[in-house]
Structure 1
Amino acid sequence: MITPVPAALHPARIHPSSIVEDGAQLGRNVEIGPFCHIGAKVRLGDNVRIMSHVVILGSTSIGDNTEVFPNAVLGCAPQNIHYKGEDTELVIGSSCTIREGVTMHPGMPDFGGKTTIGDNSLFLAYSHVAHDCHVGDHVILSNNVMLAGHVTVGDRVIMGGGAAVHQFTRVGHHAFIGGLAAVSNDVIPYGMLNGNPGVLMGLNIIGMQRSGFDRKAIHAVRRAYKTIFDSNTPIRENIAQVREQTDKNAAVADIIAFIDAESERALSSPARGQRG
């Protein structure tokens, strides 16, 4: 039987209309607003604030100082016909902001059983993170962004409203995805993608500047980008040329390592139909 935990017996502030199942672990100074449901396997860190009508179920953990707005649903069963009720996880980091109607699902047992969200990330209204996604730190998903299963999003990525990311796609760190973009292939670190189908439009120079990259790093990335996506020769040959350069810096090395890594998807490029 599910019974509310009396606020007087717990260090958290729990509205009397909310249900916190026995077994839930609540940190110090947690606040749970009206008409929420917190499952027995949920773990909330210190100073977590849960507003009204929020549902958090399953083996879901939320880091310190995270704020969850009304009608968010976190940790419910993955939207996958092969899910049979296994105990899998959703791990949300610290100091995140999860706005109205956001949905996040735990992983599938055949793929590690865990969905992870980094620290200091912002999820605007009705954005969706599907099973087995891995989202980095300082990420922004704007309204109605949709991540399909098994998507990997690097640190400091920004996605515009309504963007949709195909399953198993990787989005490299510091990338920028335009609103309503259809991301069906991998996006290199620092890349800027827009359109449907998604086309690489250049580099997220502003994002690099905001993150403290110096002029040398930015110019090196620009040169590597022009070489890699030179339409006169195949991308793989261009990548080999960049790899052989002796003056590439860490930012360029990140791009090469991203391209070299195994992936289910092709590589997004500046030309429609051009594939890696």
Structure 2
Amino acid sequence: MSVDPTARVHPSAIVEDGATIGAGAVVGPFCIVGADVTLGADVELRSHVVVTGWTDVGAGSVIFPFASIGEVPQDLKFSGERTKLIIGARNRIREHVTMNPGTAGGGGETVVGDDGLFMAGCHVAHDCRIGNRVIIVNQSAVAGHCQVEDDVIIGGLSGIHQWVRIGQGAIIGALSMVTNDVVPYGLVAGPRAELDGLNLVGLKRRGVAREDIQALRIALLTLKQGEGTFVERARRLGDETGSDYVRRMVAFITGASDRSFLVPK
């Protein structure tokens, strides 16, 4: 066990031999920290938090009571292999959140980026790749092998089907069931979700130029109404556009995926 002299561990907490606790970290009352866990500088476990398995928690992250981080995947194919959960810096992981490590069949790692907000009761499953500044709202679940790119918001009580990709800057409305890929900057909503436009609020908040927003509007219309298949229309867009945002959307659509796409109504 390696506990930095500046770290604080409550007497009621259990820190197993082998764990690493960084400078300024706080392990609150009744927490359990497993033998293969590394807590970075200034990480705070508020109370009654379990962090176990081969798990790294990045500097400045805060984990709130009754979260379970790093427990074995909810996958019947998992047979005890050594796999990892990597959580980036400055995340806020609220009450009752669960995050699982990877599986051998999925590459062996679950990776969460920086500056995320994971609200009460949400779930990040095995082998997911979660980007930076992602918000997952209360009681939403991201199933195994999903990719969620930077600046995505997933509304409350939503479900993301396994292997789905959600592109940068997209927003998922509350109570949505997402079964196919979501293009960057898309707005998706519904019990069986459909692509319902652009995430205009998110684009404006990030200061995206009006010209790029207009280019994205035209791109979405072209994807909806043009000739050929959805992917063929996207490839033509890539040849014609001058917008980096549209190019990012095209690269996402033409990239490797195990799912089809949610398309405009």
Q: TM-score range by the shorter chain?
A: over 0.9
User: Which structure 2 residues correspond to residues 222-233 of structure 1 after superposition, within 5 A?
Assistant: 222-230=217-225
Bigger mean CA deviation after superposition, 10-19 or 84-93: 10-19
Residue 264 (structure 2) aligned to one of 265, 270, 276: 270
Partner of 1:162: 157
Distance (Å, rounded) in 2 between the aligned partners of 1:234 and 1:41: 48
Partner of 1:235: 230
Amino acid at match of 2:46: M
Partner of 2:126: 131
Q: How many Å apart are 1:233 and its aligned residue?
A: 5.5
For structure 1, the 5+ residue unaligned runs are 272-276
For structure 2, the 5+ residue unaligned runs are none
Distance (Å, rounded) in 2 between the aligned partners of 1:165 and 1:10: 42
Per-residue CA deviations over 1:161-196 (Å, capped at 9, x if unaligned) read: 011000000000100000010000000000000002
RMSD: 1.6
Partner of 2:26: 31
Partner of 1:192: 187
Distance (Å, rounded) in 2 between the aligned partners of 1:226 and 1:122: 32
Distance (Å, rounded) in 2 between the aligned partners of 1:96 and 1:135: 12
1:107 aligns with 2:102: yes
TM-score of the superposed pair, with normalisation by structure 1? 0.92
1:74 aligns with 2:69: yes
TM-score of the superposed pair, with normalisation by structure 2? 0.96
Amino acid at match of 2:88: G
| Percentage of identical aligned residues | 43
Would you say the 8 A contact 2:235–2:250 is kept in 1? Answer: no
Would you say the 8 A contact 2:7–2:23 is kept in 1? Answer: yes
Distance (Å, rounded) in 2 between the aligned partners of 1:25 and 1:233: 55
User: Which structure 2 residues correspond to residues 175-186 of structure 1 after superposition, within 5 A?
Assistant: 175-186=170-181
Partner of 2:242: 248
1:174 aligns with 2:169: yes
Partner of 1:274: none
Number of aligned pairs?
Answer: 265
